[in-house]
Structure 1
Amino acid sequence: MTFPASFRTIGLAGAIAAGVLGLSACTTTPSTSAATPTVPSNTRASVDAQVDAALNRLYNTVPGSRELVARSKGVLVFPAVVGGSFIVGAEYGRGALRVDGKTLDYYSTTAASIGLQAGAQSKAVYYVFTTQDALDKFRASNGWTAGVDATVAVAQIGANGTVDTRTLQQPVVAFVLNNAGLEAGVSLQGSKITKIAL
């Protein structure tokens, strides 16, 4: 039996939404509203500690990353973005925005994907804002989407073993670390980032 394209589109959108909600339900984040989910205040220290550990791992894994973050206007760190799927995939993580080494705000990230993927995966994702304009636009947004609200250059390691210098000239530079190290060829396009209250 063949369904009209509109029914297939609605079904696909529903499946994606169910995947994201199902994965979100696995976290400790109770939602008081769809726009601004909140979590218990005692998790601030936990998220901050995870961000510290994730930054240290970045610095120890990627030569030149410490200097880049030190020169940046801000860095948004998601220590553990967890995803799992078979056909419809969903990812979720919580993190913090640091400016001058201090946490300003907390955020969540969600993303959906379609394709044959199996098993749960976890990665750390870092967004480095190299210009004040890029940081200001991010902070002023009411929900920010990578690749829509700003172009995000995913960092690559150059031939000299440090971050490729062409990448460093972009307003928003991202790093993605998995268990094996810096992930190459990854796309963050469509990742939705929302401010949350902790």
Structure 2
Amino acid sequence: MKKFLLAVLAASTVWAGEAEDKRLQEASTVLGEIMSTGDKAIPQDLFSKAQCAVIVPAMKKGGFILGAKYGRGFAACREADGKGWTAPVGVRVEGGSVGFQIGGAESDVIMLVMSQKGMERLLASKFTLGGEATVAAGPVGRDTTAQTDASMRAEILSWSRSRGVFGGIALQGATLRADEDVDTALYGSGVDRKSVLQGKKPVPPAAKGLVDLLNKYSAYKGN
């Protein structure tokens, strides 16, 4: 019986790792595809100013019950010196406004955390977009010279891509929470997600592609 239980545990651990590897690859693909669209991408100057990024591939938009799970993805932040990005942690996005819930399509979602206060909220175990943290639909294009008000006011800017169409979306009322199962699969039991987002954990091999893309598409933060 003991050997059987150990075998089951080992099998479940391998499965969890494979699941996270696949989701990390999907997140990398989403970021790479969106940022390679030139004039239709997230503005480079916003990405270069972002404190953290959240990427949720294939978020479910169907369902009418508040609290239903819509998407699982990853969040990473800049290193303390502004040079490079930390290893990612798992996040879940749940609920949202009526407009966000209705419909059966899947959407890829990217959020940029634009302020230190927004970063501190991300380090918490749970917060509500549009509640504890201000969120606005992010602009699209090479720069945001004519749209600086959005980035000046909002702690978090958000975009989505559905059926090939990419643009800003305000995820009012959605809850962003820690995905502890993912963190355990990536870093082991009892990992402190704050230490991960503060750059105190090495980047797992499966997450290297995603972190490399974050480095590629966002300039190092200047002093």
Sort the TM-score into its range (normalised by shorter chain): 0.5 to 0.7
- CA apart distance, 1:40: 1.8
* Of 99, 105, 111, the match for 1:127: 111
2:36 is paired with a residue whose SS is helix
Q: 4+ residue stretches of structure 1 with deviation over 6 A?
A: none
How far did 1:112 drift? Answer: 5.0
**Per-residue deviation, 1:166:** 2.2
Contact map agreement 1:81 1:94 (CA 8 A) in 2? yes
Establish whether residue 73 from structure 1 lines up as the match of residue 57 from structure 2.
no
Question: Identity rate of aligned residues, in percent?
Answer: 18
Task: Give 2:71's match in structure 1, choosing from 93, 104, 112.
Answer: 93
Report the Cα offset of residue 192 of structure 1. 1.0
| 1:54-65 pair list within 5 angstroms | 54-61=30-37, 62-65=40-43
Report deviation, 1:78: 0.6
Letter in 2 for 1:111: G
Structure 1's 101 and 49: CA in aligned 2 closer, same or farther, altered over 3 A? Answer: farther
Stretch deviating more after TM superposition (68-77 or 162-171)? 162-171
Give 5+ residue unaligned stretches, structure 2. Answer: 1-14, 78-83, 183-223
Corresponding residue of 2:90:
106
Structure 1 unaligned blocks of 5 or more: 1-38
Conserved in 2, the CA contact under 8 Å of 1:58 and 1:65? no
Letter in 1 for 2:92: S
> Residue by residue, what CA displacement relative to the aligned partner does 1:157-192 show, whole Å, maximum 9, x if unpaired?
47xx754332222321111222232245x4311111
Query: Any idea what SS the aligned residue of 2:130 has?
Result: coil
- Per the alignment, residue 143 of structure 1 pairs with 126
Distance (whole Å) between structure 2 residues aligned to residue 135 and residue 127 of structure 1: 12
Structure with bigger strand share is 1
1:53 Cα deviation from its structure 2 partner: 1.0
Measured in 2, the distance between the counterparts of 1:119 and 1:73 equals 31
Higher RCO, Cα 8 Å, sep 6+: 2
* Residues in 1 aligned to 2:113 and 2:143: alpha-carbon distance in whole angstroms: 18
User: Take 2:117 and 2:107, find their aligned partners in 1: how far apart are those partners?
Assistant: 27
CA 1:157–1:42: 2 relative to 1, 3 Å: closer
For 1:1-198, list aligned pairs within 5 A.
40-61=16-37, 62-85=40-63, 92-99=70-77, 100-112=84-96, 114=98, 120-139=104-123, 141-157=124-140, 162-163=143-144, 164-169=147-152, 170-183=154-167, 186-196=169-179, 197-198=181-182
| Counterpart-to-counterpart distance in 1, 2:98 and 2:74 | 27
| Partner of residue 22, structure 1 | none
Q: Which amino acid aligns with 2:31?
A: L
Root mean square deviation of aligned Cα: 2.8
**How does the TM-score come out when normalised to structure 1?**
0.65
